[in-house]
Chains A and B, each alone.
Chain A
Amino acid sequence: MKFNGRAFVFGDDIDTDAIIPARYLNTTDPAALAAHAMEDADPAFAQKVKAGDVIVAGKNFGCGSSREHAPVAIRAAGVGVVAAKSFARIFYRNAFNTGLILVECPEAGTGFADEEAVEVDLSAGTVTNQTTGKVYAFEPIPAFMLELASDGGLIPHLMKKRAASSR
């Protein structure tokens, strides 16, 4: 599975309040959330981002609250994958549960400038800066998380298991 798009670069400890501020949490509508994705980190992000773009970031991406609205907002804005040095724990679960793929890539945050062309190859385990030609490797996504993601998230995964066990 490959993702191709432009990179949007963020620093360390990007928290869920920056990803989707609480003032917009009176709805669960993905499109409404997407309009404010990353707003307190980069107010222009929602205007600039296009389907297929990739967020690259430093350590502890998604720290803070448990709001699932955060990965939902990012994904609804068109981003299919986030490559960061590390992720906060609850955000990590929430992302895979809702179909946003995350890869832990140590150099991702420093290897890009905004809007450079990026390719994330899940099978090869690489994040490529197609503007500079540099390739960065990442640890394979744990099999269990990939299974979740390929089932379409946690609920389809559970329903599949449920169907299997009642057979």
Chain B
Amino acid sequence: MASTITEKIIAAHAGQETVRPGQLVEVDVDLALANDITAPLAIEVFRSAGVEKVYAPDRICLVPDHFVPNKDILSAIQVQTTRNFAREQGIDKFFDLDEMGVEHALLPEAGLVLPGDLVIGADSHTCTYGALGAFATGMGSTDLAGIYLTGKTWLRVPETMKFVYKGTPEPYVGGKDLILMTIGDVGVDGARYRAMEFTGPVIDRMSMDQRLTMCNMAIEAGAKNGIIGPDRITRTYADERAGRPYRVFASDPDAGYVSVREYDVTGLEPQVARPHLPENVVGVSQLKDVTIDQVVIGSCTNGRLEDLEVAARILKNRRIKKGMRLIVIPATRKIYAQAMANGWLETFLSAGAVVSTPTCGPCLGGYMGILAPGERSLATTNRNFVGRMGHPTSEVYLASPAVAAASALAGRIVGPMDV
């Protein structure tokens, strides 16, 4: 029976020939991920069951990234709880400061997620890994504790929506713009409970960094997972990192989709999501004289090497607008080190930016750049809900690193061609 890649991966992990959308299945989980906010709760729930040992320590991954280096005593205790649990249970995939990174940048980089895997994370942006041709979705801490106990979880097989991108993107228009445009089109619940499969010639030519950005924001349309069928680019990326064999799945040409949308991206200008929902998307030229106080370049959406490269290119030998605050956060230590070797950190500092060690920090309004009442930020992150980066009266605009860098120079929201 013809199936989509999402259905095939789920079927393979459910021990079934095929599965159909709507079906409830029990699946084996290859990797269960949690962070410093969700792990302590999962651990607490696991302990409440009175079972001594987790089902499979080698399939558990713990990444403190939201509030590290710890911002206060309570968050230090959260990481301590997580660290102690990792030691006690023999969980090797625990990433302390010496190996740190924002989880969804770190796991693909470290080769911990590979094509064909089924990954469950107690973090909504777990859907990022779909870029590798894996099935990856977010759940809560109790679901994770269930996996700690049994190695399995239950899933409702999602219907798949197919998205086809054609045409030739303008310079500085990439994955972030495509996914913002798509969310603007379908809305924040337009893909609720569904799989979003990204395809077409534009995707075929797209780098892994940008594919990860696109799948990262599938959740912002309410989707269960985002996914891109593995090709040569995926295999090259995976082969450089894989420490084990992996399986490549592909959608059948006659697979059943609940909908198919085609976009011609030729002429698309850089996209910006206005407050307070990621679906409030407009072309950057429609935003006239929106002044901003702070720009953040980083996060699991856009804190990768290519993102920093674009920002560095635009900021090179220039100075951000007086009074502007620019915060740059490489998403992992590797990215940080590479950016340093390439001279980009120097570029950022000379431009007037501060450069932080990897952390989620301001992305979720945690620390490191919280907004005061009425302040306005432009960020390369993924959510702009009320109060997301600070005070409930502050505002967040979402855009690509190119728009972010340009806007930091101009002091208001502008496209990269306007500076």
Contact = CB atoms under 8 A, between A and B. Distances in A.
Interface of A: 13, 15, 17-18, 21-23, 25-28, 40-41, 43, 59-60, 63-69, 86, 88-90, 93-94, 97-98, 144, 153-155, 158-159, 162
A67 B74 contact: no
Interface in B133-154: 138-143, 145-146, 149-150, 154
A28 B150 CA distance: 23
Contacts of A28: 40-41, 44
Contact of B146 (A17, A21, A66, A158): A158
B295 interface: no
B385 interface: yes
B1 interface: no
A155 B189 contact: no
A21 B387 contact: yes
Contacts of B124: 64-66, 90
16 contacts: A25-B366, A26-B67, A26-B75, A28-B40, A63-B189, A64-B383, A66-B122, A66-B138, A68-B41, A88-B192, A89-B192, A97-B140, A97-B142, A153-B142, A155-B48, A155-B49
B240 interface: no
Contacts of A18: 385-387
Contacts of B40: 28
B325 interface: no
Nearest to A72: B41
Nearest to B50: A159
Contacts of A23: 365-366
B331 interface: no
A40 B386 contact: yes
A68 B383 contact: no
A94 B145 CA distance: 12
Nearest to A27: B74
A28 B46 CA distance: 14
Given A22-B365, A66-B124, 14 more contacts: A17-B388, A21-B365, A41-B386, A66-B122, A66-B140, A69-B37, A69-B41, A88-B192, A89-B222, A90-B139, A90-B140, A98-B142, A154-B142, A155-B142
Nearest to B81: A28
B45 interface: yes
A40 B66 CA distance: 20
B193 interface: yes
Contact of A68 (B142, B222, B224, B386): B142
A59 B150 CA distance: 33
B36 to A, nearest CB: 9
A51 B315 CA distance: 55
B277 interface: yes
Contact of A66 (B38, B48, B50): B38
Contacts of A69: 37, 41
Contact of B74 (A26, A86, A88): A26
Contacts of A13: 188-189, 277
A17 B364 CA distance: 9
A66 B40 CA distance: 14
B52 interface: no
B150 A158 contact: yes
A120 B138 CA distance: 30
B142 A90 contact: no
Contact of B149 (A21, A27, A158): A158
Contacts of A98: 140, 142
Contacts of A67: 37-38, 140
A88 B141 CA distance: 16
A154 B387 contact: no
B109 interface: no
B78 interface: yes
Given A18-B386, A25-B37, A26-B72, A68 B192 contact: no
Nearest to B149: A158
Contact of A17 (B37, B45, B50, B383): B383
Interface string B139-172: 1111101100110001000000000000000000
Contact of B140 (A40, A59, A94, A144): A94
B139 A66 contact: yes
Nearest to A92: B193
Contacts of A40: 386-387, 392
Nearest to B193: A89
B24 interface: yes
A25 B189 CA distance: 25
4 nearest A-B residue pairs (beta carbon): A94-B140, A26-B74, A68-B140, A97-B142
B141 to A, nearest CB: 5
Contacts of A89: 192-193, 222, 224
Contacts of A153: 142
Contacts of B395: none
A104 to B, nearest CB: 11
